[in-house]
Amino acid sequence: MRVAIRDDFMSFMQEDIASIKGPFFVTGCMDRRLTKIFDSMYREGSTIVRTAGGFLNGSQGVVEQLIKEYDTGIVTSHRGCGAAEVVVEGLKERQKVPPDIYDQVVNPFASKGCKDCTNVEASSPEMQKDYIEQIASLHGLGNKSIIMRCMDTPKPMVERPNKMELVITTPLRRRYSQLPGVSVNDDTKYYLHCDPSSPSLKCGVWIAVAEIKVGSIQVISQSPRENEMMAKVAETLKNDPEIQKFGVAINPPRLYDTSIKVGIPQKPGVTPRDRAKLF
């Protein structure tokens, strides 16, 4: 597996994408300030996955699917990241985060000796790399080409607006600007992509409500076959006391109709039905 870490994300991004033949996957942070960048990175058949901080730990099902489907991926981490602040708070005072979120999100950084946001953000790319390599080798897929990037938050920093929304959906298989009702210029939305059955879903949501202070959550399905699953996600969040104590509004799920096409990568051996098992 080839791994390169470079600092200047924007100037190398086009070079990276030009060097890749065919579709690829991209992983990164759910932060609202990065949506335009992910939109511009998209290529037909690619998949974009955004999690809290771009942390992949706990998203094993999604990572497995990505490395099985794609030969190449771009894994980005994030500087100036709200999720890194949660990690630091948990490192300083363990009781500040729920135990399951401590175990999954904070503890991996504790074992790396991280103490502040700079440590966390600097350690994250290697940790995501290690995680992908572990899963790839489990599946005998150690020869994947993974490009690592550390992404600075676009500057100047924009203040957080008052009414921010967390949009939860499955990994995105199209440009943001092609998603009905979504504008890449909307600076109020965080995008959390999940395997709905993964414990990392709750981690991302908790970070969004507790640290980022989003005021509402919108669950959407991108295809009819996801409708039932995503409605369950909304219901589960409504019933979770650790989420609800922050008083977040959970809007009725938005379920898209069949006229909206979703670009599913065509590759021998991986059928849409295989994907549906996970997503």
**CA 153 to CA 156: how far, in whole Å?**
9
SS3 for 125?
helix
String marking each residue 40-79 x if it binds Zn ion according to CB under 5 A = --------------------------------------x-
- Which residue from 13, 17, 26, 29 is in contact with Zn ion, where contact means CB under 5 A? 29
- Angle at CA of residue 249, ends 86 and 163, nearest 5°: 70
Contact yes or no for 77/83 (Cβ under 8 A): no
Rg (CA), the chain: 17
Closest approach, Cβ 37 to Zn ion, in A, equals: 12
- Which residue from 13, 17, 26, 31 is in contact with Zn ion, where contact means CB under 5 A? 31
- CA-based end-to-end distance of the chain: 26
Considering beta carbons, is residue 58 or 265 the nearer one to Zn ion?
A: 58
- The one segment of 28-36, 164-172, 198-206, 262-270 that binds Zn ion by CB under 5 A: 28-36
Considering beta carbons, is residue 78 or 129 the nearer one to Zn ion?
A: 78
* Binding flag, residue 121, Zn ion (CB under 5 A): no
Considering beta carbons, is residue 101 or 234 the nearer one to Zn ion?
A: 101
Residues ≥6 apart with Cβ < 8 Å to 123: 109, 112, 114
Closest approach, Cβ 104 to Zn ion, in A, equals: 16
* Structure letter (DSSP) for residue 95: G
Contacting residues toward Zn ion, per CB under 5 A: 29, 31, 78, 81
